Chain A
């Protein structure tokens, strides 16, 4: 399978703990995005990488959130000191340069904060 893969698919944690999600994009895609989706809502943009450079961050991304994409390949999204409001599906997507808007999404990582 050469699609976007995310790990873990589901994470249950206690409030205050740190969690990290990993995304492996389609290998030839240089753009990588993180989105968050809560129940009854559409995906909301969190952050964008072009190769290894993080070019944009949403104001939704508080200081407790950090994302990296070392070497322009896989990406990680870390949430520190989780809160119950962080419970959501975290979606990673990748795309090719020059293709408008056609993002390839992974299956998502569902976070439940107790």
Chain B
């Protein structure tokens, strides 16, 4: 049972435009959410996170929005740059779970110059 779902395997946007990556979850016990970015032949790298008590967290060009009632979060990248092209994973944590991450399948973002 996929507890964290990223239903779009891929997304293509033009440089300078907004990229919106979506993530849905089913486990209401998740209380912390993260986005990781992965380039080919590299391990995932942490990008941004949000606690379940917040609905928005911003870090430079990256903003994560959380809608708890809909069990949905999204990552906005503005403006998108070609170097943002990577696979983006949504992940979630349950309090008391030894900070064990549950990942989605990922979305491949391609930013075209």
Residues of A at under 8 Å CB distance from B?
4, 31, 33, 35, 40-45, 48, 50, 55-56, 91, 93, 95, 100-108
Contacts and interface: CB of A to CB of B under 8 A. Distances in A.
B32 A42 contact: no
Nearest to B42: A107
B46 A42 contact: no
Interface residues of B, number: 23
Contacts of A91: 43-44
Nearest to A46: B100
Interface in B74-100: 89, 91, 93, 98-100
Contact of A42 (B98, B100, B105): B105
B43 A45 contact: no
Given A100-B32, A101-B49, A101-B91, A43 B100 contact: no
Nearest to A55: B98
Contacts of B4: 42
B101 A103 contact: yes
A108 B105 CA distance: 17
A102 B104 contact: no
B105 A33 contact: no
Given A41-B105, A100-B93, A101-B34, A56 B100 contact: yes
